[in-house]
Structure 1
Amino acid sequence: MDVAYRLLLQTECPSWLYPVTMGATTVWERWDSLRPDGTLNPGGMTSFNHYALGAVADWLHRVVGGITATAPGYRTLSFRPRPGGGITWARTRHETPYGTAALSWELTTTGMTARITVPEGCTATAELPGGAPVPLGPGEHLLDAPQPAEKAA
């Protein structure tokens, strides 16, 4: 997890933010499709709108944002954010066939606070760091989880 967050947040190549520092608004096929001097990578495979490295969006959604389907069509969901890399808050939402599923979380001095939306007709489990799994029904939920013991020291 630490390596993934480092890769996400560093701005040198290779990283997810390097293309952003170079003006990217899409995901590139190569980490260095555009070189620091502004020239194109001469390797021949240089797409500036390519999914190969785009799986980071899925990782951001499932790990940082914490929303995962646990049944087809998002009928059941898991809300399990895993903060790291110095990120202290995140907001994620997904339009399911049943309505909006959403999670916003923030680290506090005592742990984590999360606001969760479970769509009508769906069920979910929330598992915040340091907390036990909590079953949730449809609606809005506010949860607090204590800081894990190993982080509190």
Structure 2
Amino acid sequence: EEADLLIAHERSAPRGLLTLTAPVAAGEDLLRPMLDDFIARFPAVSVRLQLLDRPVSLIDEGIDIALRIGHLPDSTLVAVPVGEVRRVVAASPRYLAKHPPILQPADLARHEIVSMTHFGLDSWSFPTAGGAAIPQVVQFAPRFIVNTVRAAIASAVDGH
């Protein structure tokens, strides 16, 4: 009976290596504190966290769980929505003082765009005023391309 109880307990308690991936900023700010609590709660589990601001192949890279921000392409993987993130267009006051005003999304095509490698290198789409079903797409040629949210924010704050 003791052996059966011991085996049942071992099967119910998580153990082994759990491999996760997430975007850098979300992983550092949101996921990392949760993983600290998880590791404390389940001492038989080791965690490998890969923070990457690019898509990865979960199967090829041996990832168990991925936190993704954005729309997922059709996939055979199981996805569970856990929240919403809103993207914004930002510029520093110093940049805005030196360049033409931005009154509508189409005006962005005349500006120095900092773009992220996986969030639209040469176009962005915006919801139309009045809630029309077809979004407004703005084409642009980026002046600066970065691969992390923090690099894009730093560029906007520095006046680019």
TM-score bin, normalised by smaller chain: under 0.3
Q: Which structure would you say has the larger Rg?
A: 2
Identify, as 1 or 2, the structure richer in helix.
Answer: 2
What TM-score do you get using the length of structure 2 for normalisation? 0.24
- Structure-1-length-normalised TM-score: 0.24
Higher strand share: 1
